Amino acid sequence: MALELPRNALKRALKEGRSQIGLWCGISDPCVAELLAASGFDVLVFDTEHAANDTRSVLALLQAVSSYAVHPAVRLVSGSTAVIKQYLDLGVQTIIVPMIETEAQAADVVAATRYPPRGTRGVATATTRAARFTRIPRYLERADAEISVWVQVESVRGLGNLQTIAQVEGVDGVFFGPADLAASMGLAGQLDNHPLVHEALLRGIDTVRAAGKGAGTLTLDRARGRIYLERGATFMAMGVDMTLLARAASDLAAAFGGDGDTAGDAAHDAPRAPSGAPSRP
């Protein structure tokens, strides 16, 4: 039985000029992913760099959200050709690749998402969920059109090369990593709540949008998120699942006499969990 090639909802939305709101996800449980899939976010970003995820757990997460309208993206642990191949073969259509600092690195990432002769992606269909195990006709010819490549710029060096990185053909967008960027600027732990980091992100968004590419970042501050969207950001991650759960649990415990300290400082510094779907500016 022939199956349809899934369409990349994020890629299409950005082409149509519609900003996308996402949630960063570090919890590796498919039940949590399914619960979040119906919360109203456009995108769920499953993290494999700093969360306890690998190909097996991401496969389960993808399967858990597959019947929902939300688009799954994956932040990879690295930009190696082997890592990119594995997650594309699972059926991931949007990847975010960390620690990109040069035009050459960005070009290598793009090449790893394209089949030869256009790139270096390893060829397989019988064993890959992406091709639905050969049930998607002409998958090898059509796959590129539905893959969205986001490179993560998160260092002073990367910012210095931002214009050339953004102009690499095949890069759909640049996602700014505020935590590593702040550390690179000598402001570790201050994320986008430090004026210098905040201004660097705003300038970065301007540069990327001038190149005609998508721009995004992660913030725990709703007011700043709206500022980035107004500045031209097209893909905003507005929170982290672990932080939302920790804050809600601490608030509930505190309401009944708990001291609320068990969730850690990060939970207390984070915004309250939204009561429903995230609002647009």
Q: Which residues contact 35 (CB under 8 A, 6 or more apart)?
A: none
Q: Which of 50, 71, 198, 268 is catalytic?
A: 50
CB neighbourhood size of 161 (10 A): 18
Is residue 50 among the annotated active site residues? yes
Q: Which residues contact 129 (CB under 8 A, 6 or more apart)?
A: 59, 62, 89, 90, 91
Active site residues: 50
